[in-house]
C-alpha cells in the first residue's frame, strides 16, 4: 500500500499504467491490490467497525447504487462504463485502507514514509521547468493501446503535491527557532513556485481551502501560510528587474498584471494581454456550456434527475483535434450528479462530510492525548481539502492516481478514529508507559 501510494503521488499517470500483465488490457496495480484486500477481508466485520466512527448509511447508499448502476450500464457500454465509474470503484479503498491499517505497525509504516514521499514529490515537481527534456530522455512503458508512455515527465499532481508539501513544512514540529524558520521558508517557496510556474487557477482554490482547514484546526499557525506572499513578491521583483524568462505553463511574461488577469479568468474575464490566460478565460464559457447541457438532460424528467445519466456515456460533446471526446465536464462534483443523479450526489456529499467529521474529531482527540497520529491525521485532511478543491475545476476523482490515495488515506484515518473510540484509555496508557520507559533507559 505504501509503495502504491508513493507511486501515484510521485509519478501519477505513468504509474497508473503499470498493470498485470504489463501489455494489453491487464489489471492495474491499484485495482489488483483492491481485489486482493476485498477478497481476503471480512467485509461485514470491517463495515461494522467503520460504522463505529461514521454514519454508515451514506456509504452504503453510495456503494450499492453506484456499483449496481455500473453492473447495469456495463452490460450495455462495456469498458467505457467501468472507465467512467472510476471513483465509485476506487472509493472501496476506504475499506482497503481501513483493513490494512489494522495490521501491526501498518499506520506507523505509512506515517514514517509519508514525509519522505512528500519531499521527493516536491523535489520532482521542481523539475517541471525541464519537462520537455525529461520526457525526451525518459524510458517508456506500453499503454493500454500499446502507445509509448514516458515514465518520467508527467506532472499531473505537481501543483497539489507542492501545496501539500508546503502544508507539511508549515505544520512540522521544529526543535529550534532556526529550524522553524527553515521549514517556513521552504513552505513559502513551494507555494510561490506553484503559483508562479505552474500557473493553474485551481491553485488559488486550493490555497484558500488550506487556509480554511488551518483556521478550523490550527488557527495559531495560519499566519505561516502568508509567508508565501513576501517570497512571491521578492521573486516577482527579481524576475522583473533582471528580465528573467520563466518557463510557466501559460506564459513566461510574469508580472502582477499577469496574476490579476489570471485570477479574473476564473470567471471568464481576460484583458487579452496574455494569450494563455485569454484561452483559459474562453474555456470558462465552454465548460459552462457543458454544465448547462447536462442540466437540461438531467431535468428532462424526474427519474433521470434522481438516478442520473449513468456510466458509459460521455458527459460532453467536445472533441479535440485528434477526434478524442472529453468524457468528463472538468468538474468531479458535476460528474457525480450527472452520472448518479440526486441519489448519488446526496450520498457522496454526506459521505465526505462524515469523513471530515470523523477526521477532525480523531485529530482533536490525538492532540489531547499528545499522540503522534495527530500529525498524520492533519496531513490526511490537508490532502483531502486539496483534492476536493481541485474537483471544482478538474475531473480529479475520475483519475485513479487521485482517487486511490484520497480514499486510502481516509481509510487509515478512520482506523485511527476507530481505535481511539475503542480504547482511548489503553492508547493513553501505552503512551505514558513508553515515555516512562524512555526516561528509565540509562
- What pLDDT score does 43 carry? 95
Asked whether the predicted pLDDT for residue 433 surpasses 50, the reply is no
**Does 7 or 269 have the greater pLDDT score?**
7
Instruction: Please report which confidence band the pLDDT of residue 373 belongs to, taking 50, 70 and 90 as the band edges.
Output: very high
Asked whether the predicted pLDDT for residue 107 surpasses 50, the reply is yes
CA-based nearest residue to 400, from 45, 144, 60: 144
Per-residue model confidence as pLDDT tens digits over 293-329: 999 999 999 999 999 999 999 998 877 766 677 889 9
Which triple of cell numbers denotes residue 97? 485502507
Strand partners, 140: 150
Lowest pLDDT segment from 2-11, 12-21, 96-105, 223-232: 223-232
Q: Residue 150: phi, psi to the nearest 5? A: -60, 135
Asked whether the predicted pLDDT for residue 272 surpasses 90, the reply is no
Residue ranges per domain, the chain?
Answer: 1-155+348-442
| Cβ atoms of residues 236 and 212 within 8 Å | no
Phi-psi domain of 20 (left: phi exceeds 0; alpha: psi -120 through 50; beta: other): beta
Per-residue model confidence as pLDDT tens digits over 31-74: 999 999 999 999 999 999 999 999 999 999 999 999 999 999 99
Alpha helices in 138-201 (DSSP H): 158-171, 177-193
Percent pLDDT > 90 in the chain is 62
Asked whether the predicted pLDDT for residue 144 surpasses 70, the reply is no
How far apart are the C-alpha atoms of 303 and 154, rounded to whole Å? 41
pTM above 0.85, yes or no: yes
Q: Residue 325: phi, psi to the nearest 5? A: -85, 135
140: buried, middle or exposed (CB in 10 Å: 19+, 13-18, 0-12)? middle
Per-residue model confidence as pLDDT tens digits over 12-42: 999 998 888 876 678 899 999 999 999 999 9
The DSSP line for 202-268 is: HHHHHHHHHHHHHHHH-GGGHHHHTTHHHHHHHHHHHHHHTTPPP--SS-S---HHHHHHHHHGGGT
Q: Look at the block and give the residue holding cell 487521485.
A: 402
Q: Look at the block and give the residue holding cell 509509448.
A: 148
CA-based nearest residue to 165, from 139, 186, 136, 137: 186
For the segment 383-407, the average pLDDT, to the nearest whole number, is 95
Residue 336: how many other CB atoms lie within 10 Å: 24
How far apart are the C-alpha atoms of 357 and 335, rounded to whole Å? 24
- What pLDDT score does 264 carry? 82
Which triple of cell numbers denotes residue 319? 472533441
Asked whether the predicted pLDDT for residue 431 surpasses 50, the reply is yes
Instruction: Extract the runs of DSSP E, i.e. beta strands, from 53-114.
Output: none
Count how many Cα atoms sit within 13 Å of the Cα of residue 236 in the half-sphere of its side chain.
Answer: 15
Phi-psi domain of 12 (left: phi exceeds 0; alpha: psi -120 through 50; beta: other): left
Q: Residue 56: phi, psi to the nearest 5? A: -80, -15
For the segment 243-263, the average pLDDT, to the nearest whole number, is 71
Asked whether the predicted pLDDT for residue 92 surpasses 60, the reply is yes
Distances in Å between the Cα of 217 and the Cα atoms of 210, 374, 381, 412 are 11, 11, 10, 19
CA-based nearest residue to 311, from 92, 61, 71: 71
Which triple of cell numbers denotes residue 363? 485529530
| Cβ atoms of residues 199 and 250 within 8 Å | yes
Amino acid at each position: 500500500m505504501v509503495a502504491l501510494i508513493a507511486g501515484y503521488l510521485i509519478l501519477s499517470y505513468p504509474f497508473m499504467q503499470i498493470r498485470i500483465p504489463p501489455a494489453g488490457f491487464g489489471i492495474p496495480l491499484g485495482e489488483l491490490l483492491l481485489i486482493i484486500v476485498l477478497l481476503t477481508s471480512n467485509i461485514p466485520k470491517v463495515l461494522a467497525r467503520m460504522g463505529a466512527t461514521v454514519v454508515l448509511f451514506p456509504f452504503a447508499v453510495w456503494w450499492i447504487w453506484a456499483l449496481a448502476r455500473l453492473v447495469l450500464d456495463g452490460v450495455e457500454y462495456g469498458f467505457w462504463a467501468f472507465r467512467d465509474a472510476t471513483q465509485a470503484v476506487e472509493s472501496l479503498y476506504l475499506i482497503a485502507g481501513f483493513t490494512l491499517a489494522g495490521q501491526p505497525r501498518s499506520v506507523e509504516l505509512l506515517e514514517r514514509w509519508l514525509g519522505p514521499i512528500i519531499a521527493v514529490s516536491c523535489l520532482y515537481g521542481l523539475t517541471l521547468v525541464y519537462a520537455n527534456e525529461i520526457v525526451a530522455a525518459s524510458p517508456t512503458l506500453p499503454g493500454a493501446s500499446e502507445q509509448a508512455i514516458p515514465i518520467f515527465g508527467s506532472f499531473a499532481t505537481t501543483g497539489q503535491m507542492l501545496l501539500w508539501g508546503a502544508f507539511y513544512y508549515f505544520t512540522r514540529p521544529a526543535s529550534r527557532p532556526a529550524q522553524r524558520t527553515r521549514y517556513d521558508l521552504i513552505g513559502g517557496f513551494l507555494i510561490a513556485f506553484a503559483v508562479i510556474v505552474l500557473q493553474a487557477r485551481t491553485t488559488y482554490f486550493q490555497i484558500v481551502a488550506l487556509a480554511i482547514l488551518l483556521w478550523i484546526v490550527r488557527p495559531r499557525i495560519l499566519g505561516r501560510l502568508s509567508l508565501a506572499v513576501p517570497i512571491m513578491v521578492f521573486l516577482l521583483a527579481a524576475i522583473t528587474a533582471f528580465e528573467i524568462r520563466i518557463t510557466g505553463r501559460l506564459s513566461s511574461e510574469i508580472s502582477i498584471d499577469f496574476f490579476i488577469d489570471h485570477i479574473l479568468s476564473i470567471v471568464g474575464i481576460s484583458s487579452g494581454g496574455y494569450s494563455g490566460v485569454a484561452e483559459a478565460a474562453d474555456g470558462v464559457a465552454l465548460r459552462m456550456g457543458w454544465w448547462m447541457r447536462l442540466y437540461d438532460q438531467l431535468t428532462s424528467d424526474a427519474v433521470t434527475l434522481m438516478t442520473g445519466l449513468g456510466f458509459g456515456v460521455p458527459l460532453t460533446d467536445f472533441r479535440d483535434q485528434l477526434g478524442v471526446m472529453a468524457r468528463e465536464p472538468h468538474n468531479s462534483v458535476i460528474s457525480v450528479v450527472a452520472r448518479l443523479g440526486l441519489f448519488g450526489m446526496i450520498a457522496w456529499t454526506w459521505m465526505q462530510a462524515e469523513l471530515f467529521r470523523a477526521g477532525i474529531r480523531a485529530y482533536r482527540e490525538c492532540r489531547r492525548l499528545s499522540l503522534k497520529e495527530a500529525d498524520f491525521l492533519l496531513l490526511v485532511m490537508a490532502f483531502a481539502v486539496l483534492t476536493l478543491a481541485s474537483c471544482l475545476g478538474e475531473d480529479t476523482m475520475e483519475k485513479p492516481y487521485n482517487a486511490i490515495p484520497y480514499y486510502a488515506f481516509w481509510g487509515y484515518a478512520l482506523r485511527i478514529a476507530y481505535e481511539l473510540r475503542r480504547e482511548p484509555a489503553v492508547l493513553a496508557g501505552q503512551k505514558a508507559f513508553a515515555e516512562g520507559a524512555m526516561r528509565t533507559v540509562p
